[in-house]
A and B are shown apart, each in its own frame.
Chain A
Amino acid sequence: MLGGECGVQEREGTVAHHGFTRREFLRWAVAATAATEFNRLFIPKLSAAIEQAVKEYPLIWMQTSACSGCSVSVINTIHPSIKNVILDQILPGYQLYLDYHSTLMAATGKLSTDTALETASKYKGKYIYIVEGAIPTQSDGMYGTLGEENGKPVTMLTWVERLAPDAMAILAVGTCAAYGGVAGAKPNPSGARGIGDVLAALKVSTPVINIPGCPCHPDWFIGTVARVLLYGLPKPKEVDEDGRLKIYYGKTVHNRCINRDYLDEGVFASKFGEPGCLLELGCKGPFTNADCPVRQWNSGVNWCISANAPCLGCTEPGFPDAHSPLYQRR
């Protein structure tokens, strides 16, 4: 079942029944944006696509001890565009239903958290549960709460206990969700932990894929989701010992760095803004597994080392503590 077909799900039980259905909206949105050459070219294809049966996957995206940076990063996706991801299809023939995402959803208050519970019970074993942020575990999780029931706040830890067991898969988006990250940095006053640790303690065996990064790169997220939708869960050999897909995290930043020529020539930057290999300014490229040198960031306009800024090692379980002081050679 894992990663397999969910089939077309009939959506019902919603509060509002006015205006567009998703398909009407898409048809209309295509027309509304038809002013550009690009869209005109693609209208026939899109129109054909929306008539076909589409596999639909409910998604619960829960922000826990987080800064929202991973959400803000993921919406920077270009292929597919975020419009495709939210409103259309993440892959041709595959739709995500963003049933719960507290920053984007229209609903607020209890109406919003009820939606998450409804999705979990209705689509048992079929929904994708995305966790963005670490889980506060100190004092029974009281350092982080989300909504209340019977006058008592519901902890994020409780939400994980409720939503994790019946998910098809859990995606830990960002280094906080995967390993604790900055939220779990020493002395970690809230006891913030990565979802893998928390599930182990709760004895929940739902598969978890880590997509670390501070923030998570949109391509890493989209690619991991596509892996699950198209081919099911990754095989053990495709995942490294830190639970990440090797296609994104299989080589070090250092091995593919644009500053290798400086290293070979022994040219090291000794102060900010100076050209040279950044090792003496604390670059953690040798200890960091990520494809930033070839993928780059923000539609490929730049990345840390290209801006003469040392790699902080933000995709690693040791970020930030094992990499501190950030600007000193390890």
Chain B
Amino acid sequence: MKTQVTVDPLTRIEGHLRVDAMVEDGVVVEAHAGGTLYRGFEQILVGRDPLDAVQLTQRFCGVCPTAHAVASSQCLDNAMGIMPPDNGRTIRNLIQGANYIQSHILHFYHLAALDFVRGPEFPPFIPRYEADYRLPKATSDEIISHYVQALQIRLKAHEMSAVFSGKMPHCASVVPGGVTVTPTVDKVTTFLWRLKELRDFITNVYVPDVLTIAEVYRDYGEIGPGCKNMLSYGAFDLDNEPAVIRRKRFFPMARLQNGKLLSVDPSKITEDVSASWYKSASHLPPASGATLPDPAKPAGYTWLKAPRYDNTVYEVGPLARAAIANASAGNSAHAKLISDSLTQLRMTPDNLNSVMGRHLCRAIETKMVADAMADWVLQIKLEQPVATTFSLPDTAAGYGLWDASRGALGHWISIKNKKIERYQAVVPTTWNASPRDDAGHPGAIEQALIGAPVKDPANPFALARIVRSFDPCIACAIHLLTPSGKLLSQTRVI
């Protein structure tokens, strides 16, 4: 007998998401994921001043605005054929790096941890699905005390970002050509001290807590494997090479298909809409993408498009960056941290393709970025320029590819008469939470849900754990969504 399980709203993620799963004999055999809000950013951006895109696209998401600020600025840099000076590049990295830390700590402690750790007995910790809390009481209590500590420590990461961005969320100082902020020695000092506190927390609290939970929930080192194809645009520019595919990045741009490490050709990215509520043509590259909603489209069941690379489903995010580091030649610090953790857990690299693997990769890269920033901040050259001057062309097109904390983020712009003619963003959650494509392949989260154990359909905690391990950001993704949900209810089969 098949049972349909619906979780709506799926809380403790950014934004509004529902999950529908078909369960047979206690195991998920089919799954659909979809957002439930439409904002229409692409329509809002058309006709505006191109510079405004850097500010407006940050409002996709208050958790990861820095990523949109950088991707959008790089998109305009690319369209205008300019590159920021060293200071501009470094300061953008610091603004983004600090927010990686903020976002990852927030995700683990305040969004995901309550899946594994029983909180105290008052709202917002109750009510909850009451099942499968396995940690000894003393350990559980300790991690809850870290939940409290993390509330305080994550705001220091926001402060670090604001030291150079003006304010957070929604940074003010990131602009095409670089940044506006004047670097001073007191900014460097205050940044370094906050970073020191955060590095202590990450190394001595965050990473050990993830290892503790992973040890106890070993089965979640296998649950939720997903598509196993990995894509990263890379992040944190280390030189000023104009061509993004050749630029040296701290996390490299690469992809992994069937275990093979391959390069990325941005022209191979397309978006399918056959299962989405759009009447515009399917399989278009984002640069010529269109977003014409059709809420009555019979074949549609969701409001996200389905981005694909060379017709293939990819997962993006910390796991993708880690898997790429693991497959790359040379024993990088990133790969070593991963292999050390796996050794400690008596797990293999294949265990990374799982709920616990995603949490582990997220914690490890938090440490990677935090450690690296101690060097980056000292590369700032006082009294040197922070921005390159430019003049806005009448007509131009460009793109910015950059890994947000949640994964591959692309912005595409075309400019006509000095106005935005078209703007498209393909965000990490659109990759991960995408629907079926034209060939009928489910998206990364939909695939990861297949095989998930659901013993009690009234208490489908495994589904929430799998979805949350991807750290979905629906506010980002739903700029592409259209409304309704009417058909979803018609497709219900019990």
| Chain A residues packing against B (C-beta within 8 Å) | 11, 14-22, 24-25, 28-29, 32-33, 63, 65-73, 75-76, 78, 81-83, 86-87, 97-113, 115, 136, 139, 142-148, 151-153, 156, 181-183, 185-190, 192, 214-215, 271-273, 275, 297-299, 301-309, 312, 314, 320, 324-328
A86 touches B483 (CB 8 A): no
Interface residue count on the B side (C-beta < 8 Å): 95
B182 touches A112 (CB 8 A): no
Which residues from chain A contact B48 at a C-beta distance below 8 Å?
A: 324-325
Cβ of B298 under 8 Å from chain A: no
A307 touches B172 (CB 8 A): yes
Query: A83 to B146, alpha carbons, bound, how many Å?
Result: 12
Which residues from chain A contact B12 at a C-beta distance below 8 Å?
A: 102-106, 108
Cβ of B469 under 8 Å from chain A: no
Which residues from chain A contact B180 at a C-beta distance below 8 Å?
A: 272-273, 307-309
Question: Which of B39, B61, B164, B175 gathers most chain A CB within 10 Å?
Answer: B39
A68 touches B114 (CB 8 A): no
Q: Which secondary structure characterizes the binding site on chain A?
A: loop
B127 touches A106 (CB 8 A): yes
- Closest A residue to B291 by beta carbon equals A189
Question: Which of A86, A185, A298 gathers most chain B CB within 10 Å?
Answer: A298
CB-CB under 8 A for A106 and B36, given A214-B59, A215-B62, A324-B49: no
Which residues from chain A contact B386 at a C-beta distance below 8 Å?
A: 272-273
Cβ of B414 under 8 Å from chain A: no
B216 CB to closest chain A CB, in angstroms?
A: 17
Which residues from chain A contact B485 at a C-beta distance below 8 Å?
A: 142, 145, 148, 152-153
A273 touches B166 (CB 8 A): no
B121 touches A19 (CB 8 A): yes
Query: A147 to B175, alpha carbons, bound, how many Å?
Result: 38
Query: A32 to B475, alpha carbons, bound, how many Å?
Result: 36
A270 CB to closest chain B CB, in angstroms?
A: 9
Query: A325 to B482, alpha carbons, bound, how many Å?
Result: 27
Query: A276 to B7, alpha carbons, bound, how many Å?
Result: 53
CB-CB under 8 A for A15 and B128, given A185-B44, A327-B49: yes
B14 touches A21 (CB 8 A): no
Not counting A86-B151, A111-B128, a sample of 8 additional A-B residue pairs whose C-beta atoms are within 8 angstroms of each other reads A19-B120, A82-B155, A144-B483, A182-B56, A187-B43, A189-B43, A307-B164, A309-B175
B141 touches A28 (CB 8 A): yes
Which residues from chain B contact A109 at a C-beta distance below 8 Å?
A: 6-11
B167 touches A303 (CB 8 A): yes
Which residues from chain A contact B177 at a C-beta distance below 8 Å?
A: 272
Query: A146 to B474, alpha carbons, bound, how many Å?
Result: 13
Question: Which of B119, B164, B180 gathers most chain A CB within 10 Å?
Answer: B180
**Ordered nearest first, which 10 A-B pairs have the shortest CB separation?**
A69-B62, A307-B166, A325-B49, A309-B172, A189-B40, A15-B127, A298-B162, A297-B167, A106-B128, A20-B120
Query: A15 to B124, alpha carbons, bound, how many Å?
Result: 12
- Closest A residue to B110 by beta carbon equals A104
B13 CB to closest chain A CB, in angstroms?
A: 8
- Closest A residue to B60 by beta carbon equals A67
Which residues from chain A contact B9 at a C-beta distance below 8 Å?
A: 102, 108-109, 112-113, 146-147
B159 touches A309 (CB 8 A): no
Query: A29 to B172, alpha carbons, bound, how many Å?
Result: 37
Query: A68 to B14, alpha carbons, bound, how many Å?
Result: 7
Which residues from chain A contact B126 at a C-beta distance below 8 Å?
A: 14-16, 106-107
The interface bits of chain B over 102-134 (1 if a CB of A lies within 8 angstroms of the residue's CB, else 0) are: 000010001100100011111111111110000
B127 touches A304 (CB 8 A): no
Query: A326 to B387, alpha carbons, bound, how many Å?
Result: 18
B62 touches A105 (CB 8 A): no
Query: A314 to B171, alpha carbons, bound, how many Å?
Result: 12
B159 touches A301 (CB 8 A): yes
Which residues from chain B contact A68 at a C-beta distance below 8 Å?
A: 14-15, 61-63, 475
- Closest B residue to A71 by beta carbon equals B62
- Closest A residue to B473 by beta carbon equals A68
B43 touches A145 (CB 8 A): no
Partner of B44, one of A147, A187, A304: A187
- Closest B residue to A88 by beta carbon equals B148
Which residues from chain A contact B141 at a C-beta distance below 8 Å?
A: 28, 32
Query: A83 to B120, alpha carbons, bound, how many Å?
Result: 13
B166 CB to closest chain A CB, in angstroms?
A: 3
| 24 pairs, A vs B, C-beta closer than 8 Å | A11-B122, A15-B126, A22-B120, A22-B122, A32-B142, A67-B59, A67-B169, A68-B475, A81-B152, A86-B151, A105-B125, A108-B12, A145-B16, A151-B492, A153-B488, A215-B170, A272-B177, A272-B387, A297-B168, A298-B161, A307-B173, A309-B172, A326-B51, A326-B55
